[in-house]
Structure 1
Amino acid sequence: MMRRALIAAVIAVTCGWSPARAADAAFTQFVASLWPEAHAAGVSRATFDEQTRGLEPDYKLPDLILPGRPATGAAAQAEFVQVPADYIKEASIARLAGEGQRLLQKYRAALTEIEKSSGVPATIMLAIWGRETDYGRYTLPYDLVRVLATQAYVGRRKDTYRNEFILSLKILGEGAVTRKEMRSSWAGATGLTQFLPSEYYKHGVDFDGDGRVDIWHSVPDALASAAQQLVNKGWQSGVRWAYEVQAPAKIDCTLGVPEVTKPISQWLRDGFVPVRGQKLSATEQAQPASLLQPEGIYGPSFLTTKNYFVIKEYNFSDLYVLFVGHLSDRMTSPQAFATPWSASKQLRTKDVEAMQRGLTQIGLYKDKIDGKAGMLTRSALGAYQKSAGLKVDCWPSEEVLRSIQTAR
């Protein structure tokens, strides 16, 4: 494939083509080379030719590696660059919760049946729909086939997107949706509840019984598919997503990692108190849970159950799970979080990356350098603050970043 691209570039020079046209010629060759894999996956020749004819790459997408140009960074997803107060806005939650209550009644019959068979609460399904596409009101901006083909050609995860591209052609060949209607995010998620094509085949449910899985138009199909994805990832029926708690004054925030798991009863004995005087049953107290402090020692604290991490597999972001879980709760209760979010400032992605590299070099951090201040980054930061004799708050700040860089 690299040899073909080089030949295309030579032709570009000798024939007077522009670099863009040369790149597009190589892209066309790349797409054509995928036919054997598409055929093996069940895509017909007619579908392949129809959907790839005239297909052009979109080099404006994020997360691309383009020869001769700086790598395009991943889009600044709100889940990873905003502080909680900005992402989980009260006005947005209140609006979506009100609409969710209306939809809870509108789709009551379907939701009741899906909840009964899956164990996933109706409000969780609706909250995912609300977060992903504003209950279908948000129009996804990209052509899915073009996104997946571009990402397969010059994206950071070529092999993953190569398969997703082929499966998108398979979906079109089966007639579940038209190309015009198969819109997506820049990362290739499509439908009311945002599935990759592979997730469509793994978790899709034809709930309305019309002979096709239609996550683009059929609300029952989309909600049942979302529930099935959670079930397939380990959803436990009858278990809450998390409990908001008041942390003890001398809490060790470095404990806020998934690996530190204790029965809720033990957390309560350690001084954590459910907010608003909530009483937990013996069954609830027996559940294993991890500590989550999204703003370090500032803002709300949560004891997160297995189902918290199941939702996180839908979108790997703590803020996403908090949004979905809280929106779900708000459909049945008007109460906001008991502890308000602090007015904290989030470091820029490149600064968090610098912090992660520094923590890695001194042996405190062993995860990805991704610029996202998640659980493991915050815990490693707290461990550094302990070792450096600083205030231990597990929150990335410019002061701590300077301290780490100086120590290196």
Structure 2
Amino acid sequence: MMRRALIAAVIVVTCGWSSARAADAAFTQFIASLWPEAQAAGVSRATFEQETRGLEPDYKLPDLILPGRPATGAPSQAEFVQVPADYVRDASIARLAAEGQRLLQRYRPALTEIEKSSGVPATVMLAIWGRETDYGRYTLPYDLVRVLATQAYVGRRKDTYRNEFILSLKILGEGVVTRKDMRSSWAGATGLTQFLPSEYYKHGVDFDRDGRIDIWHSVPDALASAAQQLVNKGWQSGVRWAYEVQAPAKVDCTTGVPEVTKPISQWLREGFVPVRGQKLSAAEQAQPASLLQPEGIYGPSFLTTKNYFVIKEYNFSDLYVLFVGHLSDRMTSPLPFAMPWSASKQLRTKDVETMQRGLTRAGLYKDKIDGKAGMQTRAALGAYQKSAGLKVDCWPSEEVLRSIEAAR
């Protein structure tokens, strides 16, 4: 009996090794097949061989599709699952703002020049740096080449990462950064201000004019590159990111979507009032804006300009933009948001997905099922609440989730 058990164990282990070897062989073959594309992109054979020799996939990464295993989704990023009060935590903002003020003085000449040429405020550049890597103090946990190779092999967005992997080899071949310093997030963003390799080539700026675009070690290069990315995405000089306003008591929260845009003057005529008695100039009132209510009818309300959505292209999250915009403001003003956040709870990602499916079936939601309670989801939720005779607050609560499930 003992002998049979031992033989069975050896067979299981041997099969496991064989399976692992087969998987690794297939990965190695896949990487080798990318050489023609890498060569066409300007990667030398020496660089390709050096950086791919012994390369192994990291199957612990999120957002992979692995045979025989349940599909893994992207991790629950804080900006999509935390309530605003937790994400835009005042203590964190205050700490980063104080450090940002010091850095504003330290890099004043470079920031002034970048701001003059790009139209992007120095405080916005610093806020992005602060949010992305805590001003360079946060060490990114992954090897960029391994992340991109794995995502290109078994990730949900293989074609995108295939190109990013090749471009990462191109960067290494140019000698701007060493493999050791080329750390990244699980999704392949790298450098002080978190760029994908393709973004590095699209938006990178050699501000210090040393012949290299170094977003890993050169703070001026990283900040100028962040500013250039915003410019390339449509940044408008002289325009604020958003204005905090007091919403009228009978506000229709379902209008809080990018498609509903009006001049700020019209929002003001409809009863929205800038907080703390702020007076807006004629030019500011002429700016088109959309309504943003991150907690539905609870918590602060904002009129968001074109530049709000430009920052949102850096990271597609309302809370990310609120963090960056507010941090930018706090570097020049100590004032927190005028309206406090409520004590609302955020539903789990899978519950928001269930809600989105129900709203889709009802014909109220046409965006992707991603478990993120963004602007479109909140507006669709408000429309459902109207149709179901519920309180219209545009906030994903357990009560409205139960109602949507019961309606099914």
- TM value normalised by structure 2: 0.96
Structure 2 residue aligned with 1:317: 317
- For 1:154-193, list aligned pairs within 5 A: 154-193=154-193
Structure 1 outlier segments of 4+, above 4 Å:
1-16
Contact 1:118 1:228 in 2 (8 A): yes
For 2:273 and 2:162, the matched residues in 1 are separated by 49
Distance 1:132 1:396, change over 3 A: same
Distance 1:89 1:7, change over 3 A: farther
For 1:8 and 1:125, the matched residues in 2 are separated by 61
Distance 1:90 1:362, change over 3 A: same
For 2:267 and 2:382, the matched residues in 1 are separated by 20
Distance 1:301 1:9, change over 3 A: farther
Superimposed CA distance per residue, residues 314-354 of structure 1 (whole angstroms, 9 cap, x where no aligned partner):
00000000000000000000000000110110000000000
Question: Does the residue aligned with 2:313 lie in a helix, a strand or coil?
Answer: helix
For 1:297 and 1:2, the matched residues in 2 are separated by 68
- Consecutive unaligned residues of structure 1, counting only runs of 5 or more, are none
Contact 1:242 1:304 in 2 (8 A): yes
What is the RMSD computed on CA atoms of the aligned residues? 4.8
TM-superposed deviation, 1:30: 0.5
Distance 1:239 1:194, change over 3 A: same
Distance 1:7 1:389, change over 3 A: farther
Contact 1:8 1:25 in 2 (8 A): no
Question: Does the residue aligned with 2:126 lie in a helix, a strand or coil?
Answer: helix
For 1:261 and 1:173, the matched residues in 2 are separated by 46
Distance 1:86 1:15, change over 3 A: closer
Structure 1 residue aligned with 2:109: 109
Distance 1:298 1:236, change over 3 A: same
Contact 1:349 1:371 in 2 (8 A): yes
TM-superposed deviation, 1:24: 1.2
TM-superposed deviation, 1:12: 12
For 1:94 and 1:131, the matched residues in 2 are separated by 12
TM-superposed deviation, 1:253: 0.1
TM-superposed deviation, 1:19: 1.9
Distance 1:11 1:318, change over 3 A: farther
Superimposed CA distance per residue, residues 52-88 of structure 1 (whole angstroms, 9 cap, x where no aligned partner):
0000000000000000000111011111110001001
TM-superposed deviation, 1:403: 0.4
Residue 335 (structure 1) aligned with residue 370 (structure 2): no
For 1:260 and 1:8, the matched residues in 2 are separated by 66
Residue 93 (structure 1) aligned with residue 93 (structure 2): yes
For 1:43 and 1:2, the matched residues in 2 are separated by 56
Question: Does the residue aligned with 2:393 lie in a helix, a strand or coil?
Answer: coil
Distance 1:176 1:2, change over 3 A: farther
Superimposed CA distance per residue, residues 263-319 of structure 1 (whole angstroms, 9 cap, x where no aligned partner):
000000000000000000000000000000000000000000000000000000000
Question: Does the residue aligned with 1:176 lie in a helix, a strand or coil?
Answer: coil
For 2:373 and 2:4, the matched residues in 1 are separated by 41
- Consecutive unaligned residues of structure 2, counting only runs of 5 or more, are none
Question: Does the residue aligned with 1:303 lie in a helix, a strand or coil?
Answer: strand
Contact 1:191 1:215 in 2 (8 A): yes
For 2:14 and 2:125, the matched residues in 1 are separated by 57
Superimposed CA distance per residue, residues 105-131 of structure 1 (whole angstroms, 9 cap, x where no aligned partner):
000000000000000000000000000
Amino-acid identity (%): 92
TM-superposed deviation, 1:374: 0.2
Contact 1:111 1:122 in 2 (8 A): yes
Contact 1:51 1:169 in 2 (8 A): yes
TM-superposed deviation, 1:15: 8.7
For 1:2 and 1:138, the matched residues in 2 are separated by 52
Distance 1:227 1:16, change over 3 A: closer
Superimposed CA distance per residue, residues 7-32 of structure 1 (whole angstroms, 9 cap, x where no aligned partner):
99999999984322221111111000
For 2:80 and 2:328, the matched residues in 1 are separated by 21
For 2:363 and 2:3, the matched residues in 1 are separated by 42
Structure 2 residue aligned with 1:216: 216
Contact 1:12 1:21 in 2 (8 A): no
For 2:6 and 2:64, the matched residues in 1 are separated by 19
Distance 1:3 1:285, change over 3 A: farther
Residue 34 (structure 1) aligned with residue 34 (structure 2): yes
For 2:100 and 2:289, the matched residues in 1 are separated by 28
Distance 1:14 1:263, change over 3 A: same
Contact 1:298 1:342 in 2 (8 A): yes
Structure 2 residue aligned with 1:64: 64
For 2:163 and 2:320, the matched residues in 1 are separated by 26
**Structure 1 stretch displaced more, 366-375 or 22-31:** 22-31
Distance 1:5 1:250, change over 3 A: farther
For 2:282 and 2:242, the matched residues in 1 are separated by 16
Contact 1:261 1:289 in 2 (8 A): yes
Contact 1:292 1:302 in 2 (8 A): yes
Contact 1:204 1:221 in 2 (8 A): yes
Distance 1:2 1:160, change over 3 A: farther
Distance 1:345 1:26, change over 3 A: same
For 1:7 and 1:128, the matched residues in 2 are separated by 58
For 1:86 and 1:162, the matched residues in 2 are separated by 36
For 1:306 and 1:208, the matched residues in 2 are separated by 30
**Structure 1 stretch displaced more, 151-160 or 71-80:** 71-80
Distance 1:212 1:386, change over 3 A: same
For 1:64 and 1:8, the matched residues in 2 are separated by 31
Distance 1:249 1:18, change over 3 A: same
Distance 1:33 1:407, change over 3 A: same
Question: Does the residue aligned with 2:93 lie in a helix, a strand or coil?
Answer: helix
For 1:328 and 1:111, the matched residues in 2 are separated by 14
